[in-house]
Structure 1
Amino acid sequence: MQRIFLDTNIVIDFLGERDGFYEPAAKIMTLADHKKIKIFTSPSSISNTYYLLSKYENTKIAMEKIRKFKVLCAISLMDDEVVEKAINSDFKDFEDAMQYFSAIASHCDLIVTRNEKDFKNAMIPVMNGESYLETIKK
């Protein structure tokens, strides 16, 4: 089964039902719900998503969304080794480095993000939601 890492922006697109971005994220979540793929995200993605959702929604609703999302999503590793690799990497954005090395440590096959350019030196494929869904159709 393919292991897909969702970057924070994709998690926010889905749980925040963001106009113009929700549909691809929802389709990816449906694939996970049907056990066609296994999705992962990092602990920091979960906390950052909750923080942003709680700014615009009731905190209980935000937490319920996180709770339901967690049923479909595994949490990737984010340990001392991930942090060390991120610190010593050539990523321009430290948060992206943390996400990348967390995905690698969790043996993910690819990363889905809306910021592909931020992962230009990645050793696994990085694509946006629409591009990923196109590869599934083929």
Structure 2
Amino acid sequence: MKKIFLDANIVIDFLDASSKDHSTAVDCLSIIRKHFGKPVVSPITFIITNFILGKFAKNKDWHKKQMQYTFSEFEITPIQPSFIPALFSTHFTDLEDGLQHQCALHAKARVILTKDIKDYFDSKIPVVHPADFVNKYNNLLPR
């Protein structure tokens, strides 16, 4: 099955109903789950999502349960010590995105979905904006 790797910004938009890109993220995850199985994320995405959304959570127990429920629906890649030197042998200038890329490579992802296309200029995996991903699959559906 074709694995689709999600950058942290897609997961945050998915969880943040006030985001202008929330509906696109919801559509992305719906398409992925229906046609490709579990979306793939890295532990970095978990950390970033927890940090950003956790700042706004008044009830920490509720936040913890939401994180547990949400991330149980993803395949989570490992992070290996070898990813760090491999990252420095690339042209990635955003090191977090470079590390995400190393995780996607390890997972054998066939596509990376991110809003930060320009940060993945050195990607060995095709990189697609979530709106383009949704449009492509909506245009493939019979009318």
Instruction: Give how far 1:100 is off.
Output: 0.6
Distance 2:81 2:45 in 1: 17
Q: Alignment partner of 2:79: what SS? A: coil
In the alignment, structure 1 residue 95 sits paired with structure 2 residue 85: no
Distance 1:18 1:126 in 2: 25
What TM-score do you get using the length of structure 2 for normalisation? 0.87
In structure 1, the gaps of 5 or more residues are none
Instruction: Give how far 1:32 is off.
Output: 4.1
Question: Among the aligned pairs, what percent are the same residue?
Answer: 25
Distance 2:2 2:43 in 1: 20
Paired letter, 1:108: A
Q: Alignment partner of 1:2: what SS? A: coil
Distance 1:117 1:133, change over 3 A: same
In the alignment, structure 1 residue 132 sits paired with structure 2 residue 113: no
Deviations 1:86-123 (Å, cap 9, x if unpaired)? 12221111101000111011000111111000001212
Greater alpha carbon shift after TM alignment, 52-61 vs 6-15:
52-61
Are the equivalent residues in 1 in contact too, given 2:90–2:122 (CA < 8 A)?
no
Distance 2:113 2:96 in 1: 15
Corresponding position of 1:109 = 110
Distance 1:90 1:23 in 2: 32
Q: Alignment partner of 1:91: what SS? A: coil
Distance 1:17 1:106 in 2: 29
Paired letter, 2:96: E
Q: Alignment partner of 2:71: what SS? A: helix
Are the equivalent residues in 1 in contact too, given 2:3–2:36 (CA < 8 A)?
no
Instruction: Give how far 1:81 is off.
Output: 2.1
In structure 2, the gaps of 5 or more residues are none
Q: Alignment partner of 1:80: what SS? A: coil
RMSD of aligned residue pairs (Cα, Å): 1.6
Corresponding position of 1:26 = 26
Distance 1:130 1:37, change over 3 A: farther
Distance 1:60 1:77 in 2: 26
Instruction: Give how far 1:36 is off.
Output: 3.6
Corresponding position of 1:47 = 47
Are the equivalent residues in 1 in contact too, given 2:4–2:32 (CA < 8 A)?
no
Distance 1:33 1:4 in 2: 10
Distance 1:112 1:39 in 2: 10
Corresponding position of 1:16 = 16
